């Protein structure tokens, strides 16, 4: 007998396309435009899965979801919403939704989510309704790339999985780590952050794990490490690529056995800490150079999360700018807005310092200029005076980047970093990979994640492209139109 899907949406067009797609896929479909009917059917035991919008004429699905999960814990509910924000994704997950899909969405994706939900063994999701959820959003941006991040975060909130966040400097790695903690099940515990690049290398181990009195010169008393301070909570290991080898070995043991020893100590100490790591370096490259343990990489990379640079999600710029102007206003600075021209200039700028650079610019604009509306010329002036210049921005004054020459320079440095020794074997593959990764990522970004167009642009077969995306572990900005 065909599985029955209940579709609830007040938009007749959505009901039609969704039910047609589901019927084509072999499902039986019932549709409704309000929550009252949805609840009547569900409580009568009808339907094997529900797909529902959030805002309905007779209320919000989020208010009914806990009731649905109470009466039918095994019924998967897929929530779709046009309010594509961080809070929607988080709320959906907390109230027990199976998944959340931002509108507009891809019908093929919807059908595959439905199939997956129906084929997975039934498990009762832990609902975790937090009524004190503040509505102020920690993460701003509604671009497809950020929505992918929100969905990934929502899925991870109810778990203790180790997460590694990669992304250029200023893309929000620490902010995401905090959000994982603040909205996750460890939020009552401590959040402890430590930046490997900011601590002298020979002190990192004792900072992390603590030391016994007399463990080394200057160790005058037993001290607790960050692991001990983070007990029951989350430990954020920033710039993990800068972690010295010995500390890596100790960390690996924590991840494998849930215990560690303090420096100079013998007795293993059991620990209950969720690890979130971040890096703006390519850990695979560090592994190839023998500077990062491969086994540790796999333990840390259980859930990899790549934060896109701002230039790959430039559509978030107006939201972010408004958000930072509002923050400046809260600090007592006058209210300001950007002119259309100013926004256009900012859209074309490559933002090498990402969101942090934007935040700093907005602060400067709010503090230094008396106008209520910031004119084009002001932003042009501010951006050209910025000492951090992105490659390519200065196109008129400097020569275009010469790829061969750059690779040559890179290789010279690479070889010399091994002194008299040779680098590990497999150099050809590694270097090609290094070039191929940005090439494919750029093609995908330029075509908004459209793999057909990207394959065309690159001049490769679609299947080849798909395989490369998988092999190179490129996170794809999925097209939703
Ligand atoms: N999506 C976002 N919404 C709002 N603010 C953001 C967002 N992303 C980043 N920010 C802000 O930008 C600044 C930089 O973010 P954060 O420190 O998290 O970046 P990072 O990737 O950890 O940087 P680094 O690698 O240099 O440590 C912070 O002030 C943060 O609040």
Going from the first residue of the chain to its last (481 residues), give the mean pLDDT of each consecutive group of 10, the final group possibly shorter.
92 92 94 94 93 91 89 90 79 82 86 90 50 59 88 85 93 93 90 90 90 76 88 95 92 92 88 94 91 94 91 94 90 87 93 94 86 89 64 43 77 77 80 83 81 90 85 60 32
How many whole angstroms separate alpha carbon 208 and alpha carbon 196?
10
442 lies in some domain:
yes
Nearest CA to ligand 1 atom 29: 356
Nearest Cα to 382, choosing from 427, 417, 413, 351?
351
Same domain for 251 and 116, yes or no, is no
> The domain containing residue 96 runs over which residues?
4-139
Does ligand 1 lie within 6 Å of residue 356's CB atom? yes
Nearest CA to ligand 1 atom 9: 172
- Which of 243, 271, 306 is at the close of a domain? 306
Does ligand 1 lie within 6 Å of residue 363's CB atom? no
- Count other C-beta atoms under 10 Å from residue 296's C-beta: 22
111 lies in some domain:
yes
Burial class (CB in 10 A: 0-12, 13-18, 19+), 205: buried
Same domain for 225 and 172, yes or no, is yes
Nearest CA to ligand 1 atom 7: 172
243 lies in some domain:
yes
451 CA distance to ligand 1 centroid (A)? 29
- Which of 83, 111, 139 is at the close of a domain? 139
Residues 6+ apart with CB under 8 A from 83: 54, 55
CATH classification of the domain holding 324: 1.10.8.60
Does ligand 1 lie within 6 Å of residue 317's CB atom? no
Same domain for 338 and 243, yes or no, is no
End-to-end Cα separation, the chain, in angstroms:
33
Q: Which of 141, 172, 276, 317 is the best mutation target for the ligand 1 pocket, counting ligand atoms within 8 Å of the beta carbon and taking the most?
A: 172
Same domain for 329 and 236, yes or no, is no
How many whole angstroms separate alpha carbon 388 and alpha carbon 372?
27
Q: Which of 144, 170, 318 is the best mutation target for the ligand 1 pocket, counting ligand atoms within 8 Å of the beta carbon and taking the most?
A: 170
Same domain for 19 and 56, yes or no, is yes
Same domain for 125 and 195, yes or no, is no
Does ligand 1 lie within 6 Å of residue 174's CB atom? yes
Q: What are the tens digits of pLDDT across the range 62-83?
A: 889 988 988 898 899 999 988 7
Same domain for 300 and 319, yes or no, is no
Predicted local confidence at residue 11, as pLDDT: 92
Q: Do 252 and 215 meet the contact criterion of CB atoms below 8 Å apart?
A: no
- Which of 250, 280, 306 is at the close of a domain? 306
């Amino acid at each position: 007998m065909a599985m029955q899907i209940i579709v609830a949406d007040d938009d007749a067009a959505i009901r039609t396309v969704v039910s047609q797609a589901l019927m084509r896929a072999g499902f039986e479909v019932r549709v409704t435009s309000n929550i009252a009917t949805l609840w009547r059917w569900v409580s009568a035991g009808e339907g094997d899965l529900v797909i529902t919008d959030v805002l309905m004429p007779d209320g919000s699905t989020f208010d009914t979801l806990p009731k649905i999960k109470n009466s039918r814990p095994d019924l998967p509910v897929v929530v779709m919403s046009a309010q594509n924000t961080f809070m929607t994704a988080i709320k959906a997950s907390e109230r027990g939704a199976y998944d959340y899909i931002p509108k507009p969405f891809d019908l093929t994706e919807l059908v595959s989510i439905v199939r997956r939900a129906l084929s997975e063994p039934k498990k009762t999701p832990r609902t975790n309704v937090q009524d004190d959820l503040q509505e102020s959003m920690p993460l701003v941006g509604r671009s497809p790339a950020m929505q992918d991040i929100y969905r990934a975060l929502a899925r991870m909130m109810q778990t203790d999985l180790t997460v590694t966040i990669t992304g250029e400097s200023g893309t929000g790695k620490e902010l995401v780590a905090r959000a994982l903690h603040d909205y996750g099940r460890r939020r009552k515990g401590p959040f402890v952050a430590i930046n490997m690049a900011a601590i002298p290398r020979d002190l990192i181990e004792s900072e992390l794990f603590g030391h016994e009195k007399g463990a080394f010169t200057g160790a005058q008393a037993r001290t607790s490490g960050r692991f001990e301070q983070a007990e029951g909570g989350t430990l954020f290991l920033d710039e993990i690529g800068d972690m010295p080898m010995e500390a890596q070995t100790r960390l690996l043991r924590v991840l494998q056995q849930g215990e560690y020893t303090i420096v100079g100590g013998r007795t293993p100490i059991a620990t209950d800490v969720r690890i979130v790591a971040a890096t703006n370096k390519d850990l695979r490259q560090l592994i190839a150079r023998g500077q990062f343990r491969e086994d540790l990489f796999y333990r840390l990379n259980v859930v990899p999360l790549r934060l896109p640079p701002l230039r790959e999600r430039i559509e978030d710029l107006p939201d972010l700018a408004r958000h930072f102007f509002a923050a400046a206003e809260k600090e007592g600075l006058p209210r300001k807005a950007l002119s259309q021209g100013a926004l256009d200039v900012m859209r074309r700028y490559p933002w090498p310092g990402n969101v942090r650079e934007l935040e700093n610019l907005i602060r400067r604009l709010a503090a230094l200029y008396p106008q209520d509306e910031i004119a084009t010329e002001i932003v042009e002036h501010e951006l050209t005076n910025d000492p951090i210049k992105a490659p390519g921005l200065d196109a008129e004054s400097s020569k275009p980047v010469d790829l061969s020459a750059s690779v040559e320079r890179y290789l010279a440095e690479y070889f010399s970093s091994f002194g008299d020794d040779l680098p590990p074997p497999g150099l050809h593959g590694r270097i090609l990979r290094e070039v191929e990764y940005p090439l494919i990522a750029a093609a995908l970004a330029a075509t908004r994640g459209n793999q057909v167009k990207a394959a065309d642009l690159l001049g490769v077969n679609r299947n080849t492209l798909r395989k490369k995306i998988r092999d190179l572990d490129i996170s794809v900005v999925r097209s939703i139109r």
